[in-house]
Copies of this chain bind each other. A is one copy, B any other.
Amino acid sequence: MVDFKALDDTIQQNLQASLGELSRLCAQPSIAAQNIGMVECAELTAELLLARGFEVQIMPTKGFPVVYAERKGRTDRTLIFYNHYDVQPPEPLELWDSPPFEPALRDGKMFARGVSDDKGHIICRLAAIDAFLQSESDLPCNIKFLIEGEEEIGSLNLPEFIGDNLDLLAADACLWEFGGVDHEGTPGQVAGLRGICYVELTVRSASLDAHSGLGGSIFPNAAWRLIWALNSLKGPDEHIRLPGFYDRVLPPSKRDLELMAQFPDMAEEYRRTYDLSGFLKGIKGGAELLREEIFSPTCTVCGLTSGYQGPGSKTILPALASAKVDFRLVPDQDPEEVVLQLQNHLDNEGFHDVEVTYLAGENPARTDLDDPFLHLVVETAEDVYGVPQRILPMSPGSGPNHPFIHDLKVPVATAGISYPKANIHAPNENIVIDNFVSGVRHTVRIMAEFSKP
């Protein structure tokens, strides 16, 4: 029998050392988008794993390397931890109260870029391992780590890496890189992730800008071509007009609807935070809002650029225009299929001059809501938080869970140390130290329960 009292005591005794390691890991920049400190951070991550007696490999990909590690445990069950050592760019720097790569403790929190997303979760898993090694001298199950360096830039090379290493990575379940509590302290389980298809649409109508007085009535205008092409994708009714786009969309099940009904209505919170006059499609809030947020695929213009954008007037006819467009996908849509649908649609509508660049894609994927591992993670939360995790059937966000669920064929569940005010991807990213301790305590319970025959 596992002695959780002893494990919890060890976690508490180790806390300063764990936070010291977290601080050291956060002090090492690892900004994938800017290629800053990536090799150094992979090596530091490997060092932390070696110190726990793991066999560690820094494995190349076409992009940044993967840190892979494994160590045997008392049983034949294998749990794989998915994490990432890369972080978001820290900009805008002027909005940080302390420098992003100089971790600072204030008010029971630690502030640093990556302290929640995702270095705090790496150290959370290591702290759980430390507790077992010190309290019981071995691990209750086999542990593998897959720590990639490209999560913040779309995990471009991860599906291929997993596909090429199915035997090495073989496991019975996967504990995901994020998790935590909501603003009321209720722990949450996120049982799936939407997919994404992110493209750039570019129009070049001439080799150089013209004077708008000269060319306005006779020259093609890149900005107009882009506007008309975008307008052909979606109108104010929000219906996405790519033929076949909705063919694979699975509606939420009765169980999904029941789970979503457990969540508070976010309408007022959204209205206040974003100063919105209302929601799309006449939605007022409640379960309808959450259902729409999660189970509707989207087509979002994330950016537009063309011609003159400064103050006042400048009379040019732009030769170049481009838009960033983000499709969020739900099971069983496929980003590569959506790119083809988009290209065919533009061709059929006469927009041969619109170039499509596929910048990032992730397939949507969900863990079976009846999966025993998912329930194990949900229920072990109760001993730490007083209540089991509340299950969200799918996140509106995206991530690389698809190759784990569909290629490695493991259930994926989430548990962690974060909370809504963690400011991930934003200035003053932080964790609450108490949440960190809870996350480690939950992790040891997941490991112990998972290891039972």
Which A residues contact B (CB, under 8 angstroms)? 33, 153-154, 194, 196, 198, 200, 205-208, 210-221, 223-224, 226-228, 230-231, 234-236, 238, 270, 273-280, 283, 289, 292-293, 296-309, 312-319, 321, 323-324, 326, 328, 350, 359-360, 395-398, 425
What is the minimal beta-carbon distance from A319 to any residue of chain B, in angstroms?
7
Shortest Cβ gap from A93 to chain B (Å): 16
Question: Are A219 and B280 in contact, with the CB atoms below 8 A?
Answer: yes
Q: What are the residues of chain B within 8 A of A297 when measuring CB–CB?
A: 217
14 contacts between A and B (CB under 8 A): A194-B213, A206-B275, A207-B275, A213-B395, A213-B396, A215-B300, A217-B280, A219-B276, A221-B301, A224-B234, A224-B301, A300-B317, A309-B324, A313-B324
Of all chain B residues, the one with the shortest Cβ separation from A213 is B397
Q: Is the CB of A303 within 8 A of B218?
A: no
- Chain B residue numbers with a CB within 8 Å of A360 are 313
> In the complex, are the beta carbons of B292 and A302 less than 8 A apart?
no
User: How many Å lie between the Cα of A305 and that of B223 in the bound state?
Assistant: 11
Q: Would you give the shortest CB distance from A76 to chain B, in whole angstroms?
A: 38
Is A321 in contact with B300, judged by CB distance below 8 angstroms? no
Q: Do the beta carbons of B313 and A154 come within 8 Å of each other?
A: yes
- B220 and A277 contacting across the interface, CB-CB below 8 Å: yes
Quick one: given A218-B279, A230-B227, are A307 and B313 in contact (CB under 8 Å)? Answer: no
- Please measure, in the bound complex, the distance between the C-alpha atom of A282 and the C-alpha atom of B316, giving whole angstroms: 22
Residue of B nearest to A323 (CB): B223
A392 to B293, CA, bound (A): 59
A385: shortest Cβ distance to chain B, in Å? 24
A216 touches B303 (CB 8 A): no
Across the interface, A274 reaches (CB within 8 A) one of B208, B293, B299, namely: B208
Besides the contacts A208-B273, A213-B396, A313-B326, what 14 more A-B pairs have beta carbons closer than 8 Å?
A33-B312, A153-B312, A207-B275, A210-B274, A214-B293, A218-B289, A219-B279, A223-B302, A227-B230, A302-B316, A303-B309, A307-B324, A308-B324, A314-B324
B303 and A308 form a contact (CB under 8 A)? yes
Cβ-neighbour of A315 out of B238, B275, B302 (below 8 A): B302
Contacts of A194 in B (CB 8 A): 213
